[in-house]
């Protein structure tokens, strides 16, 4: 079964899609067979969501509306799982900003 799905989600995490969240995000994306891509705007450019190098290169700060699209087996499930991860603030606790 092949399908295409697309959705958007607001990044609320304090510093955006940074190192630790990116590790979780790409790991989750890789658990799906479908091709998954992200973009900071509806018209792209699109980045491979399974590559942490590409995801970090997108440099998505807090407040970004993240566009996610998937194509292939389990596309809908992949989108749903990734959106939920972003909405849960990547399962991180509050207060990761440490003063000097």
Question: Would you call 67 a catalytic residue per the annotation?
Answer: no
Q: Are 41 and 67 in contact (CB under 8 A)?
A: yes
- In whole angstroms, the minimum distance from the beta carbon of 59 to other proteins comes to 5
DSSP state of 39: E
Cα(88)–Cα(47) distance, integer angstroms: 22
Specify whether the CB–CB gap between 11 and 21 falls below 8 A.
Answer: no
Among positions 3, 7, 23, 81, the unique one binding other proteins when judged by CB under 8 A: 23
Q: Does 64 bind other proteins (CB under 8 A)?
A: no
Can residue 56 be called a binding residue for other proteins (CB under 8 A)? yes
User: Does residue 65 touch other proteins according to CB under 8 A?
Assistant: no
Site membership for other proteins, residue 48 (CB under 8 A)? yes
Question: Which residues in this chain contact other proteins in the complex, by CB under 8 A?
Answer: 14-16, 18-20, 22-23, 26-27, 48, 51-54, 56-57, 59, 61, 93-95, 97-100
Active site residues: 18
């Amino acid at each position: 079964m092949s399908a295409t799905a697309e959705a958007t989600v607001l990044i609320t995490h304090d510093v955006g899609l940074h190192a630790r969240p990116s590790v979780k995000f790409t790991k989750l994306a890789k658990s799906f067979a479908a091709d998954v891509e992200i973009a900071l705007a509806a018209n792209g450019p699109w980045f491979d969501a399974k590559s942490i190098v590409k995801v970090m290169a997108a440099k998505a700060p807090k407040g970004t509306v993240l566009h996610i699209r998937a194509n292939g087996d389990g596309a809908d499930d992949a989108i749903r799982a990734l959106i939920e991860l972003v909405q849960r603030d990547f399962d991180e606790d509050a207060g990761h900003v440490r003063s000097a």
